[in-house]
A and B are shown apart, each in its own frame.
Chain A
Amino acid sequence: MKKQSIMLSTAAVALALLSGGAPASADTLRLLTWGGYAPDDVIAKFEAETGHTVEVTKSNNEEMIAKLRATGGGGFDLAQPSQDRIAGPQEEFGIYKPIDMSQIDTSLFIPSMLEATKGNTMVGADVYGVPHVWGTSGLVVDTKMAGMVKDYTDLCSDDVAGKVSYRLKRPTLIGFAFSMGLDPFAAYGDEAAYADIMSKVEAKLVECKPGVKTYWGGGDELMGLLRSGEVVASMAWDTGGWKLNADNPDITFVAPAAGALGWVDTFVLPAKGKSDAAAYAWINFVMQPEVAAMITAAAGNFTASLGADEFADADLKARYQASFPQEAIDNIKWYPPVPAGLEAIEGGVLDRVKAAN
């Protein structure tokens, strides 16, 4: 959870000023990543094999970008934002540096994913990201209590009023838009059209608000709400649903009728990273199938590593297959790169929903 944001950036600026002069040791990898993406056993193995040391900072998309922006891309050697959040911030703030594909062992990647990510993270002729972990977000439902929830907008149903939750973040806006038969991704290039879609979503969310228990903020909070039964249906990540499923077979992840939202978390090099060698070494290390399987076990999500499925846990695969029949996989809506400026439109919507009574 975060401190007051106003202090955050100023403190970051001040710290950057103070620490500016001290060069980081070349063999320390400062990794800015999500929880679960760098488990202790993987770090230990990496340190033993390469002699580099790893410092992990856990974060999320928005904070990763905010941190890198505050320092102009310094303070970290490797970061892992989602692929849709690379091109836009790069154009606006220039916080990343291009990836030297010759340093990457491309044979470790699932080719189609690698190509898609390269395409999505391209600015000019340079590639800025390679894929790592992927997953979806959709619905986590207590099937006994809320079996009727099949799509995002079903969260507004009177049957589950007072017992649903979602985040007040952009995935919710996108999911509701698809569920309402709109295509926000198609409108990414057209600000006016996008604003129009968002205003419809806003009206829907305001209408739904009385039935919402609370807008969840963190994964642990959501887990608590679902486990206690205070919430019976929520928007969430697939892994969250599978984790709960292990404890309570009634609760599981459901791919919504309008399509789950697919995301890919990547590797990017911050503009002022100091040990690129260690960064490339880490990328090539964790993409090995055995290591990727260890990360899947920790994070709950699959990776872009070719052949890692063989090493994955059978239970996890079974849950994945139960949630994703083939047509659901085909229906996944993969996030395209977010053009700079859309956040302002979405932000206004989110603020107004939050303030609505």
Chain B
Amino acid sequence: MTPDLECTDLTKRFGDTTAVENVTFSVPPGSFFSILGPSGCGKTTIMRMIAGFLEPSHGDIRIKGRSVLNVPPNKRPVNMVFQHLALFPMMNIADNIGYGLRRAGLSRADIDRKVQEALERISLPGIGARRVEELSGGQKQRVAIARCMVLEPDVLLLDEPLGALDLKLRERMKVELKSLQAAFDTTFVYITHDQSEALVMSDAIAVMNEGRFEQIGTGRDLYYRPDTAFVAGFVGDTNRWGGRIERLDGDSMALRTDTGMILRGATHGRAFAVGDRADVFVRPEAIRISYAEDDLSQFDNRLSGRVTSILFDGAASRVIVSGADGPGEIEVNLPQSGEFAALTKGAEVHIGWASDQGNCFAAGAR
């Protein structure tokens, strides 16, 4: 099947700085594709090249197999939901949604019908005559999407459209966006710096850093099998130790941290040599906490320490444990079994994790 969107070797230079460097990816029809990266990584530049507001320095963009390089933005079969939505304040809601249809030269009756359908689709029937400023943030969001979707674009681009919303609404809109995408059955390309938005909604995510794609994969892949140290550090929370490799044995390895402690980890197929500097990443939820050291006998990494602080956050509560002999502060997820409800600061605890939960990357590698 031809991908809806395909970028090959996409590069954009502004003077001496390279904003986007040799980015290649393809998005299959009907999928939700996210580009995740810190601000300034070049993701907006990619988006603007796809929409046609920027000319790539090099590379090709194909939509449904056809190159759109020489097609102006108003002729491309893609539409964009802007960061601040960019609804037209001088028009009412129906005119906003009908704008593109009017430009396409549809008859007034067709426009009215399609606008009504779109409003029903986004569950806001009967608001056509209202003014933009009368709508709530979430309603504006849906109108902005409807305004694009009435044009039946091959690809819908979304540029951090949830950024301006408050937390609660953002959580709800994540779910809503995903269901709207399913309802319209259109390819969405979504850019964000918020990993949770990307992880929740996307079929595939590209993690971007300094103009390049670090890794493309499902949320699960990125989370559990990061290809690079950047992905490991950027997607999800993690503990990180630097040290030197002491011993290699097939997929497992042992690393002596700079504070002198031995940690066991897995190479996951990456090539190392004894003596290399490396970083080990371990997620807080992979670490088990216990009052009794015996409970942790199945783990090959074990430590004892004291609780230095408790970060209560409901289901996402954590403790910070300071190791008795070395590795500094370790973030550990608190199990919700109630067993640790009485845990206090200063309490002595034992922690442990399996070595294959320790992702290891060569130090300095990106």
Asked if A and B touch directly (CB within 8 angstroms), the answer is no
Identify the B interface with A (CB < 8 A): none
Identify the A interface with B (CB < 8 A): none
